[in-house]
Chain A
């Protein structure tokens, strides 16, 4: 399914669980770079309930950003995807987003008013040539046919107040460069709120910010989620943020979800050697300072010419030679709702230590 077509009368209709808003099924993304093909996302499955926050964590190059951009259909043309991304629209219809044309009318309507995204660098999301108020009301006018210029401005003021921007009457007529990073991230969140989306994709939204500002933004996102009831797909490399923000967590490594579970399952009972290593290698505030940090040896390989194997096998201390490096590892259920992609979980194989 390499070609994306905007079929007006979809022959195929899709079903997803009624409480889900998004289901990603067997998503594969390949990126052609120079001479080779990067298999950036390899068979990713996950689902997102209404009003829930799912954390997508992993190190750089694990495919978390590619996955999120695929949902919005904003990956560049050298990315080829397979699989299904099923999304329930506000009208209740289930669409496979991969079948839509990237620039088609359907996708454009979904982007913004159904699915919104906030980025690491809020500056790049705004045009430096127009005032914040201009850019926000433009979005309202675009999505709401009944809005007038005056009513849009009112809405913008309300939204700016909601995201905690002091003195919105003055701020609304300022340009992006007059805002600090934290303020701009708030404005971006206000922009997102203007469209009232059902699903918010937050791609490292606080990485560029200072700790105290990060705390403000996270607080804001939490309270807005409570108020508007949207679902959030939170992409980050910071395990601390995940522990504080998310209901469920998907840990990604080399394009695969190696472990999926509730935030407590992941943090209190990590089962995949990678998750365990990652948590142990983090310096913690409550740890004895003389303790040496745990190390995962080696570096993340480049996903080129992948053959069936566990992506982590060459850095894993518990690698089963002959199995992990030659077989496609299936998912195992460690406890209800806690999936682990590791051979060691299989009954009869040496138990996990």
Chain B
């Protein structure tokens, strides 16, 4: 749309349109993206998730190796502010163990006599030490209950490990594996797709067939076969790397196809011919005109591919093929819930599922917003 305003516009209006005129393609995209409320909200949620994951060891009260045998299968601890009508500030009650008179199962109930205030920025128990980003040793934690009180915001599992801590520490794997995997996918997809799209001919045919072969493998058995090859003695960090590679080896064909078809369609564009006629060499055509013209689509595609990688990691770990305890990820946590009694008695153990659900949804909405914003002719 040629947006020309008549002279009779007010001054302030002209200023606003000036910004529009000088906006680059990326600027316009950002402008449109900001209008997409759902996408903006999702981006906000994702930023919080990722920040939480980065500062995970600090926010989580327990480390992955810590557990407390006295508090097994503990319900989420409610945080209180008022004790008998008086404002005390955030605190939890102490806990005592009772037997259910009917089922004789052990139950942890609040001891209404004992008040344990919550302190912030405390040095944790021994065993809670961590290295932030693997570099800076620390034992600083966000919060802790005084006087030996216990806070299990999401409850505990059958070994007495704090689920809240594990969800947060698990997100470090569940949210970052997909990003690394996605980057690997992009490198593979872009390289292979450009080869096929730019050169065409027999190279294209071979790559096309390869894509079809890779795509026609059923994914789950393929993962299973590949991850069965991971030696059981490997350290979690190495397993992590291998899983990433496995995931991206299976997911590059989708992107390669997009890149290939974009190359083919953009080759026919008038502005590409215009550049060629003005003497642009092939390398400049690709880097200055062709790739930028569909970069936004690639970014959208990347965003949209993350959810399937999150699910992929979760699935692998759920099937017991990925990480194993005490290393943790959302998939590992869900694996521990695959018993009927969990749903009957310990339904808080399903909380990790909410996070898988939320992050997948948020990535999809964000991708939606990006896609709408990336269409330059709308």
Contact = CB atoms under 8 A, between A and B. Distances in A.
Interface stretch (B5-13, B51-59, B277-285, B345-353): B5-13
Contacts of A209: none
A300 B2 CA distance: 10
A299 interface: yes
Contacts of A325: 8
A309 interface: yes
Contact of A302 (B5, B10, B16): B5
A304 B7 CA distance: 11
B4 interface: yes
Nearest to B8: A307
B3 interface: yes
Nearest to B9: A305
Contact of A305 (B3, B4, B13): B13
A169 interface: no
A266 B6 CA distance: 27
Contacts of B7: 301, 314
A35 B7 CA distance: 19
Q: Majority SS of interface residues in chain B?
A: loop
A323 to B, nearest CB: 14
Interface string B278-310: 000000000000000000000000000000000
A301 B13 contact: no
Contacts of B6: 301-304, 314
Interface residues of A, number: 13
A314 B7 CA distance: 8
Nearest to B13: A305
Contacts of B3: 302
B4 A302 contact: yes
B interface bracket (residues with beta carbon within 8 Å of A): 10 to 19
Nearest to A309: B8
Interface string A281-302: 0000000000000000001111
A304 B9 CA distance: 8
B325 to A, nearest CB: 53
A299 B4 contact: yes
Contacts of B2: 299
Contacts of A300: 4
Nearest to B6: A301
A198 B4 CA distance: 39
A6 B3 CA distance: 37
Contacts of B5: 301-302, 304
Interface in B1-33: 2-10, 13, 16
Interface in A1-60: 35
Contacts of A305: 8-10, 13
A309 B2 CA distance: 22
Contacts of B16: 35
Contact of B4 (A301, A306, A309): A301
Nearest to B16: A35
Contacts of A35: 16
Interface in B95-123: none
A301 B10 CA distance: 14
Tell which of B2, B3, B4, B8 has the most Cβ of chain A within 10 Å. B8
A252 to B, nearest CB: 16
A299 B9 CA distance: 15
A35 B9 CA distance: 14
A304 B2 CA distance: 13
A185 B176 CA distance: 57
A296 to B, nearest CB: 14
B164 to A, nearest CB: 44
B373 to A, nearest CB: 13
Interface string B327-353: 000000000000000000000000000
5 contacts: A35-B16, A301-B4, A304-B9, A305-B8, A306-B8
Interface of B: 2-10, 13, 16
Interface of A: 35, 299-307, 309, 314, 325
Given A301-B4, A304-B5, 13 more contacts: A299-B2, A301-B5, A301-B6, A302-B3, A303-B6, A304-B6, A304-B9, A304-B13, A305-B8, A305-B10, A305-B13, A306-B8, A325-B8
Going nearest first, the 9 A-B pairs with the smallest beta carbon separation are: A301-B6, A314-B7, A302-B5, A299-B4, A302-B4, A301-B4, A305-B9, A304-B5, A307-B8
